[in-house]
Structure 1
C-alpha cells in the first residue's frame, strides 16, 4: 500500500535514479544513530520504489545502543512498546550512487505510525530548532570542516597504529608537511576517488589541506542550508571511510588518535539569513559587526558548558583538550583568532559569519548543529552580550571555572541541563545520557596498557 511520505520524499526521485544508473543492483539505506553512526540495511534494486512508496520498517532500539551496537537498557528505547519497528522514510536529495562500490545510498529518517517524527532521533532535534528559527524569520545556513587521519592497516614495530602510506608512491612520511601541496599530490589517487564519489552523492566537497600532523587531512564542505550541511557530514564521513578501505588503509575520525599529535575537530560555520537570502550576520553599513551575530555568540557562550557532552561525546574526545594545540576547550570568542572557541573569520561584509571550533570530528553533526543553533537563538531572544573579544593567544588562559573538567562532569552537566532537555526532547535527552553513562562505566572498569606500563610493577 502506498503511503504519503512523511519525509517529503518523492517517488520521482527514485525513478530518476534507477533510470540514470541502470547497472546499480543494491542501495544502502542509512539511518543515523545518536553517535552519528550509520545503521540500516542494503536493499535490492527492485525494492527502491517500495521504499519511497511505503517506507521501510526498522527497530527504534537502534537509538538505545552504544557505539558498539550493544543495547543500553536505561536508554528507554530497548524493547520499548514490545520491541516493535518504526517506519523510516528516505530523505529528499540524499539518494546517490557510490562509484567505489557500485551501490546506491540514501539517508532515511524514522517516524511514528501517525506520521510524527520519532522523538529519540537526533536529526529531528535539529529540524525542530530550524523550524523555530524559521518561525522567527531566520534561515540557518552552515557548513562543516572535517579533520581526520588516514591510518595504515599495518602497525609499526611497537604494535602501534601509524599513518597510511601514500596512495601514489606508497612511501611513508614521518614529517608533518602542514599545508604541503606535494603531500596532497602523494595522496591524490585517494582524494580523486573521494571527490568523484562526492559528485555522485551530491556532497559539495571543496578545499583539501594537509593538516598539522602526519597523516592528518581536512576537507571543507560548501556553505548551504544547515540541515543539508549536517546531512553532508554523514555522507562525507561514510564516503571517506569506504574509499579508504579500497585503497588498503583506514580513515580515522577519532578526536585524538595520537596523544602527541593534533586532535581532529569538526568546525561548524553558521549564519542566519532572512527570507530573501540576505545574510543577517553581515556587517553594518559602518563596518561594525552585526548586533544579531554578537547576540548569537553571547547565547552560545551562555550555554556551552551544558552542551560540552554533545561537542565531546566520548572518552577520547576529552584527550583532544589535554593539549590546547588548535583545540579550544573554552567559551572565548574573537576575530580572526584560531585560539578561541568561537571565531569570527576575516570575511567582512555580507559574507560574515562565525565558526564554532570546539566539537570533535567524532561528534554527531545533527546534535552539534542543534545545540549551536539553539544557543544562538537564545542569545538573540535574550539579547545576550558576548563580552569583549579575546586578543592574542588565548590558549594560555585558565579554563573557565564553569566549564566541565572531564567527560563524567560533562555527562552530569548535560543530565542536569533544562536547556539541553528542551533542545533534544525528553526521550533523546534521557537516552543520550544513559548511553554515555553506560559507555563511561564500560571504560572506567577497563585497565589500559598505559596503566600497566606506569603502575604495574613499580608501586
Structure 2
C-alpha cells in the first residue's frame, strides 16, 4: 500500500472537510494578490508529490495582472513555468464557499534546486534567518485597517460608504472605537470570527476605526514572523470574501476617500534573545539600548524601504496632516503621532509599533523591511534621538512623499540589496516603475475638470 505524500498536519485538516471537492492553490505575488490554480480533490496528492507549474512572471505581474517584461521574467525567458510546491501545514478549509473546499499556500522554486529568492515570502524568510543566525527571534503581530463599502459604485465609478445593516442608512459619521458600530455590523464581524476559527487565524480584536465604515482587526503576536504574515494574508482573504457574501466590498486601499482617514498596516515587533528575554524590555524613563538602536535602524531604513510601505499611486494620498499617519521618522512612548510608537505596556512586553505602511502594502514585504531595519539598528547601535512627547506634527518636519522618488530611492538602495537581494530589488523596482508609467499615461477626470474648457 502506497503512503500518501500529504503531510500529517494537512492530512488531518483534510479529514475534517468531509467531501472536499476542490482546493485553491495560492501564490501571493509582490502586490500581495493571491494568484494560482483551483484543483480537484483527486489531484491533491499529485500536487504534494510533484508540485504544480505556474509562470515565473506571476510573482511580479503588475496590479492589473499583466506581465512586466522589464523584470526579465516574461518573454526574455520564454515566459517559463516554475514548479510550485505546497507550504507544509498551510492547508485550511474555505468556510465561506457553499461547497466543501480548501486552500493551500504555494512556494515557487527557482529551477536550480532552491526557492525563488524574489518571492516576497522568501524575502521575509531570509531576514528572519539572519535573526536566527544571531540567536534572536522576532515576535510579530499585524494590525489591518480596511473599509466596508457599498457593493454598488456611484454612476462615475467611485466608492460609497456602506449601508448600515441596523439602520438601513448610509454611514456618514465618524465614531472611533464606537461599540454601536460593532453591534450594527455584528453579522460581518461574527462571520469573519467564524472563518478565522475554522482556518486557525489568531485574530483577537476588532474595532471601529476613524471613518464611517472603517474597521481594524488585529492578529495575535507570533514568534514566527512568516506565519504571522501568512495569517495576515489569509485574514485579508477571509475579510474580502465575507464582505462580498454580505453584499459589500472590503477594501484595503490606502485612501479610498480624500476627506476621510486612510487605512494602514501596523507591525508590532519585539525581539527575544536565545534565553527568551525581550531585548526591548524597559520603561519610558529608561529605554533599553536595544530598543533605541532598533528604532534608529528603522529611521535610517525608512527612505530606502518606503516603496515597500507605500507601493501604489494611491498610497501617497494617505500621508496628510493630522490623520494619525506618520509624516516623519519620530518615535515616542504611547504616542500615535509618531512613526515608531512604543505602545503602553508592562516593561517585559515592550515592543515597537511601526505605523508607516498602508493597508495596501504586502505584509511579507512590510515585515521584512521592518525586521531588516531593526536588525541593522542593533548592529549599528545608532541613536534615534529623544522620544517625542506630545504632538509630533508640531515638533518635527513633514516629509513630502512622491511615488516616483520612492521608486528611485528603492532602486538605488544598497540597504535593499544587502538585506533582500539584488534580484528582488530589480524585479520589484521594475514592477513599480512599470505601474508608475502606466498610471502616468492615463488622463484623469480632474484633468478634464481643470483643463478641458479652461485652456
TM-score range, shorter chain: over 0.9
Counterpart residue number, 2:318: 320
CA distance in 2, matches of 1:450, 1:115: 51
Contact 1:11–1:49 at 8 Å: present in 2 too? no
* Deviation at residue 156 of structure 1 after TM alignment: 4.6
Counterpart residue number, 1:54: 50
CA distance in 1, matches of 2:77, 2:418: 24
Moved more, 340-349 or 419-428: 419-428
Contact 2:330–2:387 at 8 Å: present in 1 too? yes
* Deviation at residue 245 of structure 1 after TM alignment: 0.8
* Deviation at residue 48 of structure 1 after TM alignment: 1.9
CA distance in 1, matches of 2:85, 2:288: 39
CA distance in 2, matches of 1:124, 1:66: 19
- Measured at CA, do residues 315 and 222 of structure 1 come closer, stay the same or move farther in structure 2, by a change above 3 Å? same
Contact 1:167–1:247 at 8 Å: present in 2 too? no
The equivalent position to 1:82 in structure 2, one of 54, 78, 83, is: 78
The equivalent position to 1:213 in structure 2, one of 211, 214, 217, is: 211
Residue by residue, what CA displacement relative to the aligned partner does 1:299-358 show, whole Å, maximum 9, x if unpaired?
A: 111111111111001110000013440111311111111000000011031110010000
Contact 1:61–1:78 at 8 Å: present in 2 too? yes
CA distance in 1, matches of 2:439, 2:395: 30
CA distance in 2, matches of 1:396, 1:315: 27
- Measured at CA, do residues 255 and 21 of structure 1 come closer, stay the same or move farther in structure 2, by a change above 3 Å? same
Contact 1:63–1:77 at 8 Å: present in 2 too? no
Contact 1:64–1:76 at 8 Å: present in 2 too? no
Gaps of 5+ in 1: none
Contact 2:17–2:101 at 8 Å: present in 1 too? no
SS at match of 1:116: coil
Counterpart residue number, 2:253: 254
Contact 2:282–2:347 at 8 Å: present in 1 too? yes
Contact 2:10–2:89 at 8 Å: present in 1 too? no
Moved over 6 A (4+): none
Residue by residue, what CA displacement relative to the aligned partner does 1:381-440 show, whole Å, maximum 9, x if unpaired?
A: 11111111112111235546xx66311010110011010122221111101111111111
Q: Establish whether residue 290 from structure 1 lines up as the match of residue 264 from structure 2.
A: no
1:75-154 equivalence runs, <5 A:
75-101=71-97, 102-154=100-152
* Deviation at residue 159 of structure 1 after TM alignment: 5.8
- Measured at CA, do residues 113 and 438 of structure 1 come closer, stay the same or move farther in structure 2, by a change above 3 Å? closer
The equivalent position to 1:369 in structure 2, one of 348, 367, 375, is: 367
The equivalent position to 2:428 in structure 1, one of 424, 428, 432, is: 432
- Measured at CA, do residues 45 and 240 of structure 1 come closer, stay the same or move farther in structure 2, by a change above 3 Å? same
* Deviation at residue 223 of structure 1 after TM alignment: 0.5
Taking structure 1 as the reference length, the TM-score comes to 0.94
Contact 1:305–1:404 at 8 Å: present in 2 too? no
CA distance in 1, matches of 2:400, 2:393: 17
Taking structure 2 as the reference length, the TM-score comes to 0.94
Q: Establish whether residue 270 from structure 1 lines up as the match of residue 274 from structure 2.
A: no
Contact 1:110–1:118 at 8 Å: present in 2 too? yes
* Deviation at residue 112 of structure 1 after TM alignment: 2.5
